[in-house]
Amino acid sequence: MLPTVIAPSILSADFARLGEEVDTVLAAGADWVHFDVMDNHYVPNLTIGPLVCSALRKHGVTAPIDVHLMVSPVDRIVGDFAEAGATLISFHPEASSHVHRTIQLIRAAGCKPGLVLNPATPVEVLDYVLDELDLVLLMSVNPGFGGQAFIPSALDKLRAVRKRIDASGRDIRLEVDGGVKPDNIGAIAAAGADTFVAGSAIFGQPDYAGVIARMRAEVAAAQPGAC
Ligand SMILES: O=C(CO)[C@H](O)[C@H](O)COP(=O)(O)O
Ligand SMILES: [Fe+2]
């Protein structure tokens, strides 16, 4: 199992103080910044784009920026995010006419590619492309909004994807996104996730360091050997 990554979703941060919020959450022990891009087309919400990613880099953020593109069509925006300083770029297969090509586009732009599975997207979408990926992002809510409840069937799906990743023999991260909280992260970790997105659970209360520490402790208890 790869080392645990906690990736706070800035969707739930105070956008009026975004640089400060990101500094604070990283100082509180977060590993990555999860950056949700919504286009009011693929999902019924509109958020932030490459300008904001680049502004965070200019502000001095050096942590990995984990860009989750909920944008259709996706290809045209990949280069803009690579230039803006994205580290990882994940996209939904439904938003690409040629999934393999989009993965190559992300890698050629110098970023790590991830494929996102919605709650109703079958795991077979990973057939033929898993070996090309650095990350599988499994949605445990329908994309578009923060603060939704974790969909329990995501646990079985995590186990199924974990098996495929282990069988591949490659260091592919398994990230879970949506409704992750200190009281369910242990079960999520036990099902095979190593990378945890949490928005409202972290930014929704004042002690970011306390929540992150609790999450790490729950993961460590569920996955002996994880840190
Ligand atoms: O991709 C997302 C929504 O589409 C967000 O990353 C996700 O919902 C995180 O927020 P929360 O932890 O509050 O559920
Ligand atoms: Fe996300």
> How is the chain split into domains, by residue range?
5-222
CA distance 209 to 206: 9
| pLDDT tens over the chain, length 227 residues | 899 999 999 999 999 999 999 999 999 999 999 999 999 999 999 999 999 999 999 999 999 999 999 999 999 999 999 999 999 999 999 999 999 999 999 999 999 999 999 999 999 999 999 999 999 999 999 999 999 999 999 999 999 999 999 999 999 999 999 999 999 999 999 999 999 999 999 999 999 999 999 999 999 999 877 65
Active site residue 177: yes
Confirm whether residue 200 is marked as ligand binding.
Answer: yes
- Please tell me the total number of residues recorded for the chain in this structure: 227
CA distance 192 to 160: 9
Contacts of 76 (CB under 8 A, 6+ apart): none
The gap between the terminal CA atoms of the chain, to the nearest Å, is 10
The pTM (predicted TM-score) of the whole model is 0.98
Query: Is residue 192 within 6 Å of ligand 1 at its C-beta?
Result: no
Complex ipTM value:
0.98
CA of residue 163 to ligand 2 center, whole Å: 23
**One-letter identity of residue 63:** A
Confirm whether residue 72 is marked as ligand binding.
Answer: no
CATH of 5-222, one of 3.20.20.70, 3.40.50.800, 3.40.50.970, 3.40.190.10: 3.20.20.70
Active site residue 131: no
